[in-house]
Amino acid sequence: MTTVTAPLAGRAIGLAAVPDPVFSGAMVGPGTAIDPVLEPCVAVAPVDGIVVSLHPHAFVVVDVEGHGVLTHLGIDTVQLSGDGFEVLINKGDTVRRGDAVVRWDPNVAVAAGKSPICPVVALEATSDALAAVRDGDAVVETGDALFDWT
């Protein structure tokens, strides 16, 4: 089992509340989403593993069990072309849960008319593979458990 933890602080609101049909419809996979605290922060690795995909606005870490966890910083933030983001590691790096990945200011996204909501998704999982999913406006701190993936 893999416990996926919050890459940043905010309110766990669930994927259904994400203003993007790809995420809200769990088309990429099940999980939850965080409405972040609106202040500069560092998004951290939600699991131990290898960074297999890395962009200023999103990253994927795959753990030893092959579970890929996507952290997407805001919605449509790819359109910001990196503004408000600073990548702190490299694709292919091995990370431990809690290691810094991207420095981000969600206020830049808000100022550009983008949603700061951050989906945290279990890629290619089925919804019944997740347990103890945090949603429903639960306050989370960086490193708090978001869901378990069996």
Report the C-alpha dihedral over residues 60, 63, 66, 72, rounded to 10 degrees: -20
**Catalytic entry in 55, 57, 67, 72:** 72
Evaluate whether 6 touches 120 at the Cβ level (below 8 Å): yes
Catalytic residue flag (residue 72): yes
Instruction: Give per-residue burial for 60-86: e unless 16+ CB within 10 Å, then b.
Output: bbbbeeebbbbbbbbbebeebeeebbe
- Written as six digits, the tokens of 49 are 């593993």
Residues recorded for the chain: 150
81: which residues sit within 8 A by CB, 6+ positions away?
A: none
Residues tagged active-site: 72
